[in-house]
Amino acid sequence: MDVLSEFRGLDEEHARAFAAAWLPAWSGNRPHDLIAFYTDDIYYSDPGVPAGLRGRDALLEYFIRLLAHNPTWRWTHRGSVPIRDGFLNEWHASMPVGEHSVEVNGVCTVQLRGRLIYRNQVYFDRAPLLQSIEQLRAARGPSSPR
């Protein structure tokens, strides 16, 4: 049996079409729209949750917090590489922090069952983003007591 003849990844055209529908859901603080792209048994990880999250309920809870803090960021598809059941998404994100935006390139695995994502692992260097957040906090001064 030829293993390559059974390979089922998404080609560039199909990956681009999927990303065109999925990536906009990351903007505008719409966690329920975003979670609609994921299976009930999703495994998700990113630099903020490197150990990962399992299940749609846990991921929705995370998305609610994450998107509330980042309602105006923008994600764009830069390219893709086919992988088993999906594609490696090469992306760019513009992440506003105060008056400026941090421009970030990264990749993530997008593995599909049917038209839903069952595995999504996000990779990028978040050091510039964290540095910008710290600079903004320092510029604002100490928080007032509650």
Q: What confidence tens digit (pLDDT) does each residue in 7-33 have?
A: 678 999 999 999 999 999 999 999 999
The alpha carbon dihedral of 78, 83, 87, 93 has a sign of negative
- From residue 137, alpha-carbon distances to 19, 48, 84, 122 in Å are 33, 19, 42, 26
Domains identified in the chain and CATH numbers:
3-136 (3.10.450.50)
Using 50, 70 and 90 to split pLDDT, how confident is the model at 6?
Answer: low
pLDDT over 80 at 143, yes or no: no
Question: What distance lies between CA 146 and its chain's CA centroid?
Answer: 33
pLDDT band at 146 (very low <50, low <70, confident <90, very high): very low
| pTM of structure | 0.88
Over the chain, what is the mean pLDDT?
Answer: 92
- Residue 136 to residues 68, 139, 140: CA-CA distances in angstroms? 18, 5, 6
* pLDDT tens digits, one per residue of 53-98: 999 999 999 999 999 999 999 999 999 999 999 999 999 999 999 8
